[in-house]
Structure formats: structure tokens, C-alpha cells
């Protein structure tokens, strides 16, 4: 599809040099942070206000031109690929902290602000926004994919930390999905309808967020175990005992070896938990002793703490580098990541099952995950010129998802559906998938908002 002259003229008149059909701009918005084939839009726009987004939508829908909301572009399942062409609405210039209420522990931001930029602006308040998906994603993108990450075990996901949204509908209306009260029973919960909708129902332009106080004391630990079952069981038992760690991250021996080589570390090459405990000094000391006893009972052979912020940051930076470290195992490779999430009681069995599937895998891989909430990932380093790699990885991924669904888990805990997990939606949701289709048809009857995502072809 190419833009008709009337649509081109209208967008150009509205936005001037913030409207582009240049190949370089279009390619930049094709969805390259994924193993799926990038697909560029016909044009890119950079609005600076909610009303500009609404006007772009009105222009495009009048001409039946698809629109795709775009943040940092770090999504992994082709969420921003323009499957039917159209206009990519880049939100990165809408990046202001609009309001902060320290007494209410909340703030309102534009969708294009990144989580790191937000926390930098919050630093002097003693508050912070805790959701950390690893990438320095935009708050709008994190809302659209219902993101979570390393801190979800203590603070929850975006679903628990968003109070309301400002959304532009496919009709070009601007709506607010709720108010700032911490709870409400007034009508349908539109906020949680749009959270995780991946831009298929509306475009998020502003987000009101819960904030949290920075803890008095934070300690990080590295604990090594004989295998994945022992590491997973320790995380599960810690949660069952009432511990509320800030983070509980798992890396298998292969991931540790990759990170050592990539980041210049010398961690023991073994299945490892990275743990962070936070609270008052007395609370943290008590949590340390309990966690240590649980770890030792499960065969922990190495246990060390890091109190200094610099050392803690070094550990978490290494954890966040695991994706790139895995790709570095095979120069020229492309990342093929997947994730599943299961009830925590089933976690150990599912990781052991995944390890068995991977025992003879010819493709370099690493396992890591936010095991405190039952979510784990496998990152493969595939050869983009070798179709056999993708066939092997696809089969392993399908078996992992089948296992997760068999224990009442989900095909994706945080990556989202995009196009990569569409094939599992019917098995996971059953008749509820038909309700999702009816919602999409009611809110976006022309199927112009990020078409081809989430819902599998009928």
C-alpha cells in the first residue's frame, strides 16, 4: 500500500518535517529487534501531543490507512512490523513527565518517556517506578505490551502499576480510562482492557503510574546450585515462606558462561540465582538469614552478598546483558527469544523439561528468567542463513509452550503475542478467543489499528 495524495498532503500539512516517507525512516520502524521478517510502514510521523495523535488517526482512518504505534522498538514478537503498510506513529517526542504527586505516590507521563528517564527525574523525590523489563523501553510501549521484568515478584507488572490511561480510539476520540483513585467499581475496567492490547484497540498517549518509595536497605546475592531444580525450588520456597524479594533471577550454567565472556566477569559456571532483598535494615537482615537457610537446604554451594550500589548495579547489568551475551557466542547470529510463565509450584518441573528438550539442541542457547513469578526465557542464537536452525528452535518452543499450557500456564509471560505467539492463542484461551475477536471488531471495525497482531487469522 502507498499513501494516496490526499492523505499525504493532509499529514504533511499537519506535521511538516515530522512526517516522512524516506526509506531510512521507514526501515527504522520496520521491527528489527526480532527474529521475524521486518516490514516497513509507508510513512512515519512524530506527534508531540495527544491531539496530534488523534488528528493523525482521523486522517488515516478516513482513508482506511493502517496505523501502528511505535515506541523504542524493543519488542520481540514483531509488534511494530507494518504487516499491511500504513503509518507508523512514533511516540518518542511525547516524553514529558506531566505531573507528580509525592503525597499520592503517583505521576502522569507521556507515552514516549523511557523508564530510565522517568526514574532519573524522580530521583530527588525519594520515589521510583519499579517495573524493569531489561530494555530501556517507553512507558507507552510497556503499557501496550503489559510488560513486567526483574522486579515483578515484589512490585508487580504494568497491570498492577498503571492507574489510568489516555487513549486515542480508532474513531479519533480521546478518552481517559479511569481516575487516580487506587480502586473503583464504577463501570467496565477499560484501563486493563487497553493494557496488553499491543496497539490493536487504541493508541496510548498518557499513562498515570503508581510510584514506590525507595527502600532503606538493599542487598543483592549470588547463589549457585547443582542444577535448575534446586535453584527453582529455592525461589519457590522463598515466596511460599512469605519473603518479598525485590528480584529473583535465574541463569543456567550456559547463560553464566556467556555473560562471563561478554562482560568480563568470573562468576562460577553453574545454575545461579541472582537475588535482591530490600526493606528496613532489620527486615533485610532477617530475610537474608531465611533465604540463606533455604538455599543451603537445596544444595547451594556458593553464596555471597553485595551491599554497595556499584556492586549491585554491576550484577544486574550483567543479568541484563544475557541476551547480547548469548548472541556473542555465535558471531553473526540473530536472537530468537521466547518465554513462558507458569504457576510457581510448576516452575521447577517446567525448567527441567525445557533443559531436556535442549539437551541435543545444535543452536547455542541460554536459559534465564524471573523465577520469582514463574516466568523464564530461552534465548537462541540462530544462523539467519540456515532454515534448519529456525525449524529446530520452533519445535522446541512449541513443546515448551505445550508444557506450560498443560500446567495452566501461559504462552508468554511478558514478551507479548505480536505475531510470534498467535498460533497458541486458541489453545490458551478457548472460547474466550471469540470474545476477543468481537471486542476487536466492535472497537476497530475497519481493522486499522496494528492489524494482524495478537488474534490469529480466522
What is d(CA 168, CA 20) in angstroms, rounded to the nearest whole number? 22
- Confidence bin at 1 (pLDDT 50/70/90): low
Residue with cell 499450557: 405
Which cell numbers hold the place of 294?
533455604
361 contact partners, CB below 8 Å, separation of at least 6: 380, 392, 393, 396
Which cell numbers hold the place of 87?
503509518
pLDDT for 7-55, tens place per residue? 999 999 999 999 999 999 999 999 987 888 899 999 999 999 999 999 9
Strands (DSSP E) along 123-227, which ranges?
Answer: 127-128, 162-168, 174-176, 203-210, 212-213, 217-225
Cβ atoms 108, 130 nearer than 8 A: no
The answer to pTM > 0.85 is: yes
Ordered by where they begin, the domains of the chain are 5-90 (3.30.43.10), 97-213 (3.30.465.10), 217-323 (3.30.70.2190), 331-406 (3.30.70.2740)
How close are the terminal C-alpha atoms of the chain, in Å?
23
- Please check the confidence at residue 406 and state whether its pLDDT lies above 70: yes
Average pLDDT, the chain: 94
pLDDT for 108-144, tens place per residue? 999 999 999 999 999 999 999 999 987 889 999 999 9
What is d(CA 405, CA 413) in angstroms, rounded to the nearest whole number? 12
Strands 43-45 vs 19-20: parallel, antiparallel or unpaired: antiparallel
Q: What is the mean pLDDT of residues 146-152?
A: 89
Which cell numbers hold the place of 251?
541463569
58 contact partners, CB below 8 Å, separation of at least 6: 172
Query: Which residue, among 260, 190, 196, 188, has the nearest Cα to 224 in the 3D structure?
Result: 260
pLDDT for 270-290, tens place per residue? 999 999 998 888 888 889 889
Which cell numbers hold the place of 91?
511516540
Which cell numbers hold the place of 167?
487513549
Cβ atoms 302, 270 nearer than 8 A: yes
Amino acid at each position: 500500500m502507498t499513501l494516496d495524495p490526499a492523505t499525504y498532503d493532509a499529514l504533511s500539512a499537519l506535521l511538516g518535517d515530522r512526517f516522512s516517507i524516506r526509506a531510512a525512516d521507514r526501515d527504522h520502524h520496520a521491527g528489527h529487534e526480532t527474529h521475524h521478517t521486518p516490514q516497513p510502514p509507508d510513512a512515519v510521523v512524530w506527534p508531540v501531543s495527544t491531539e496530534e495523535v488523534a488528528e493523525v488517526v482521523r486522517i488515516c482512518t478516513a482513508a482506511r490507512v493502517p496505523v501502528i504505534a511505535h515506541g523504542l522498538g524493543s519488542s520481540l514478537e514483531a509488534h511494530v512490523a507494518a504487516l499491511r503498510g500504513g503509518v507508523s506513529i512514533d511516540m518518542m517526542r511525547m516524553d514529558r513527565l506531566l505531573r507528580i504527586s509525592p503525597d499520592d505516590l503517583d505521576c502522569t507521563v507521556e507515552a514516549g518517556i523511557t523508564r530510565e528517564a522517568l526514574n532519573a527525574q524522580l530521583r530527588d523525590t525519594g520515589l521510583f517506578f519499579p517495573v524493569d523489563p531489561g530494555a530501556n523501553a517507553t512507558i507507552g510501549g510497556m503499557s501496550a505490551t503489559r510488560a513486567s521484568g526483574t522486579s515483578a515478584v515484589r512490585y508487580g507488572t504494568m497491570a498492577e502499576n498503571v492507574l489510568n490511561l489516555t487513549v486515542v480510539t480508532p474513531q479519533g476520540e480521546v478518552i481517559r480510562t479511569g481516575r487516580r483513585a487506587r480502586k473503583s467499581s464504577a463501570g467496565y475496567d477499560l484501563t486493563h482492557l487497553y493494557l496488553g492490547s499491543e496497539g490493536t484497540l487504541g493508541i496510548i498517549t498518557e499513562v498515570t503510574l503508581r510510584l514506590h518509595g525507595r527502600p532503606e536497605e538493599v542487598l543483592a546475592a549470588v547463589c549457585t546450585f547443582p542444577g535448575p531444580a534446586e535453584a527453582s525450588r529455592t525461589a519457590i520456597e522463598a515466596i511460599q515462606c512469605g519473603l518479598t524479594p525485590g528480584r529473583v533471577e535465574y541463569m543456567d550454567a550456559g547463560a553464566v558462561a556467556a555473560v562471563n565472556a561478554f562482560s568480563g566477569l568470573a562468576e562460577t559456571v553453574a545454575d545461579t540465582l541472582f537475588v535482591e532483598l530490600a526493606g528496613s535494615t532489620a527486615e533485610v537482615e532477617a530475610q537474608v538469614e531465611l533465604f540463606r537457610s533455604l538455599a543451603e537446604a537445596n544444595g547451594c554451594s556458593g553464596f555471597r552478598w553485595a551491599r554497595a550500589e556499584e556492586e549491585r548495579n554491576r550484577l544486574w547489568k550483567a543479568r541484563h546483558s544475557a541476551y547480547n551475551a548469548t548472541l556473542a557466542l555465535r558471531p553473526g547470529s540473530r536472537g530468537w527469544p521466547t518465554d513462558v510463565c507458569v504457576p510457581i509450584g510448576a516452575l521447577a518441573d517446567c525448567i527441567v523439561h525445557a533443559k531436556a528438550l535442549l539437551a541435543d539442541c545444535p543452536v547455542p542457547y541460554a536459559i534465564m528468567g524471573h523465577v520469582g513469578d514463574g516466568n523464564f526465557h530461552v534465548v537462541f542464537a540462530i544462523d539467519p542463513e540456515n532454515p534448519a536452525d529456525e525449524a529446530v528452535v520452533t519445535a522446541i518452543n512449541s513443546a515448551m509452550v505445550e508444557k506450560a499450557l498443560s500446567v495452566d500456564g501461559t504462552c508468554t509471560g511478558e514478551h507479548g503475542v505480536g505475531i510470534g505467539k498467535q498460533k497458541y492463542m486458541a489453545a490458551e484461551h478457548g472460547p474466550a478467543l471469540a470474545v476477543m475477536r468481537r471486542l476487536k471488531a466492535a472497537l476497530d471495525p475497519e481493522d486499522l489499528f496494528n492489524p494482524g497482531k495478537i488474534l490469529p487469522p480466522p
